[in-house]
Structure 1
């Protein structure tokens, strides 16, 4: 009997130990599953965000789809507006003198030949006297030459006298021509005033005025600037790596705030054959349509797009692409609308037979969530309000892309809102 009793106790102990072992394994497995689920949920929350139905309507989230757009592939280049040298004049005087009058103001338009100021210098009076004296001598010597030629032809006077008169006539003619050339270079007549006019050599707008009334104007010093903006063009700095894609005839476009963000177009007409500075850039010159350049000012900074080629690429509205760190994302709306998690659902459970109140129903409806997932993309060219995108991972062909409100979703995701999944 004793042996039978011991055998039964051993069997019971073995069975008990086996039950304990299964219980421990089940508990460990449950804990592991729970930790795995929590880790999955945590990883999932890093690139997902959920909005309640109220938030969804308030923010005004709009969705669209990926489109195939005909976009220009571009090279971005910075530069300045400028005018050709023949359309810019720095005006100085060939003779010094005291500024008598200034007849224009900065910013006014002047035509070619317009008198901008007058300078008084008594030396011009001597030039006029030299010219008039030479003219008088020429008249006398011409008559004397004619008389001496007649006498010489009749062998009354020796030819030596005729040659002397001829030489004096030539000297006076040269003196008169020199005096006249000087006066013409000063834009003066051969008689009259001692005031030297400063004349605009081109039509355009008066820039900086560097003289004052009563001051002494020195030769070689710029007194006025006149700029003709009708032939405005761009000087763009293009890096060495992009030169192979640039050619004459390509179109460029840029936007200036003073033009109401209107897109202004131009055409490349010249490419320098040497580097312009230590930054290893080459100057590329582009013409601007005269109708678009009338309100431009030389020296304006611009950021332009040089259009390389036109191609059809997958694209989304540019506001749909957001940057987080050093990566770019778009958001897609997931195709299901979930309610809140089990914890919130349990909070709304009621005992069997108890009716829902209107407040409970409203609260439950308010917790309905719309889920969005961030999808990494590689952005390409941006043109006409659309950005080319390449998806790092495949998305459904009918995916709903958030085209309005992506920045709000990024902010909500960064903020780690209390969204439970």
Structure 2
């Protein structure tokens, strides 16, 4: 009985000792915050592959931040409408189809087209008679055989008919109806609308049987060969932006890929309540093939370059819109770091500029790698 009690007591003591040793070992491998300092053991430093170093002088590009969209100049975007409303008779086009200038897009049908042609023919037939009557009255008036009143009335009737004739003729031309065919008695209740520019169909609002009024946009065509950047920059930055400067931009909603462009045109007036100015950038053929009109972009216009103290991007801790680095305070068997506020400057692909202050300069030792392990 005594031996069993001794064995159980020994088992409990061994178990408790093992648990205490394990907890002590785990605590030793975790970060310890003491008096505002973050303490890291040698084991954690090595296992997390941390690295200490000083800020290094780097070349940084000075940029103006902006946003905007992928767009095309107004002359390469067309909204197709009809001069006189009608019902959709036929179309084979869909969004994404390519069309060329002059290509038949859609057929409309309406009896109003017949009424227009009928009015044109009636006026065309009257005009010859009115012209003859005008010339006759003029001759009689010149010979003082008829009154001036009859002469002026004949002239007025003729000129009114002539104006109506020209107006109806122009309407037929706008509807793509040949006036010569109408004068020969070839009437039609259908018209065809042709593409005003070459490009891609980006909007299609037409279905067979649908009535389209003159105010309705039937479809929209965009010539993607002329895609460009349309950016907005604030008034305070405009004097730094010039033609030919490099632009880097991303389409945050679609890709992480970075694209490049150049400033082509800078606006000459401040627009809207936001006090912004338009800046346009050119795109390469390869870049155009990856983008769509209307895409939102975030861009940096590179206006200059400068030297500055840089640290790897991963060396920065950001909390509540403030930025910090971990400055080495002391090292013996452990590493002690102090979280120190810094002001950031420009950015490159791998480095971020930090502005020197009383606590951080070119000789300061700070944690360059492994900050993520301690920043939370």
Q: Which has the larger radius of gyration?
A: 1
* 1:352 aligned residue: none
1:209: how far off? Answer: 2.1
| SS in structure 2 of the partner of residue 314 of structure 1 | strand
Of 41, 58, 69, the match for 1:69: 58
2:63 and 2:301 in contact (8 A); partners too: yes
Alignment of 1:167-182 (within 5 A): 180-182=169-171
Alignment of 1:180-219 (within 5 A): 180-190=169-179, 191=181, 193-219=188-214
Unpaired runs of at least 5, structure 1:
1-41, 145-157, 161-166, 340-368, 412-421
| SS in structure 1 of the partner of residue 196 of structure 2 | coil
* 1:17 aligned residue: none
* 2:342 aligned residue: 377
State the alpha-carbon separation in 2 of the partners of residues 88 and 252 from structure 1: 24
1:388: how far off? Answer: 1.0
- Residue 291 (structure 2) pairs with residue 304 (structure 1): no
1:177: how far off? Answer: 6.0
2:312 and 2:351 in contact (8 A); partners too: yes
Of 219, 242, 266, the match for 1:270: 266
1:101 and 1:213 in contact (8 A); partners too: yes
State the alpha-carbon separation in 2 of the partners of residues 128 and 290 from structure 1: 49
* 1:224 aligned residue: 219
| SS in structure 1 of the partner of residue 374 of structure 2 | helix
* 1:415 aligned residue: none
2:232 and 2:279 in contact (8 A); partners too: no
State the alpha-carbon separation in 2 of the partners of residues 65 and 214 from structure 1: 73
2:238 and 2:277 in contact (8 A); partners too: no
1:235: how far off? Answer: 3.6
* 1:58 aligned residue: 47
Unpaired runs of at least 5, structure 2:
1-31, 133-142, 146-154
* 1:108 aligned residue: 97
* 1:256 aligned residue: 251
| SS in structure 2 of the partner of residue 184 of structure 1 | helix
TM-score (norm: length of structure 2): 0.70
TM-score (norm: length of structure 1): 0.63
State the alpha-carbon separation in 1 of the partners of residues 107 and 284 from structure 2: 33
State the alpha-carbon separation in 2 of the partners of residues 117 and 226 from structure 1: 13
| SS in structure 1 of the partner of residue 208 of structure 2 | coil
1:118: how far off? Answer: 0.7
Q: Residue by residue, what CA displacement relative to the aligned partner does 1:210-251 show, whole Å, maximum 9, x if unpaired?
A: 232112221222111222233333343333333443444433
Residue 197 to residue 62, structure 1, CA distance change in 2 (3 Å):
farther
1:237 and 1:282 in contact (8 A); partners too: yes
- Residue 4 (structure 2) pairs with residue 49 (structure 1): no
1:96: how far off? Answer: 1.4
- Residue 293 (structure 2) pairs with residue 289 (structure 1): no
- How many pairs does the alignment contain? 322
Residue 372 to residue 247, structure 1, CA distance change in 2 (3 Å):
same
1:99: how far off? Answer: 1.2
Query: Higher helix proportion, which one?
Result: 1
1:375 and 1:391 in contact (8 A); partners too: no
What root-mean-square deviation, in Å, do the aligned CA atoms of Structure 1 and Structure 2 show? 4.0
Of 312, 318, 326, the match for 2:313: 318
* 2:85 aligned residue: 96
Residue 298 to residue 48, structure 1, CA distance change in 2 (3 Å):
same
2:242 and 2:263 in contact (8 A); partners too: no
Residue 253 to residue 396, structure 1, CA distance change in 2 (3 Å):
closer
State the alpha-carbon separation in 2 of the partners of residues 403 and 189 from structure 1: 78
State the alpha-carbon separation in 1 of the partners of residues 241 and 300 from structure 2: 12
1:273: how far off? Answer: 1.5
1:133: how far off? Answer: 8.4
* 2:135 aligned residue: none
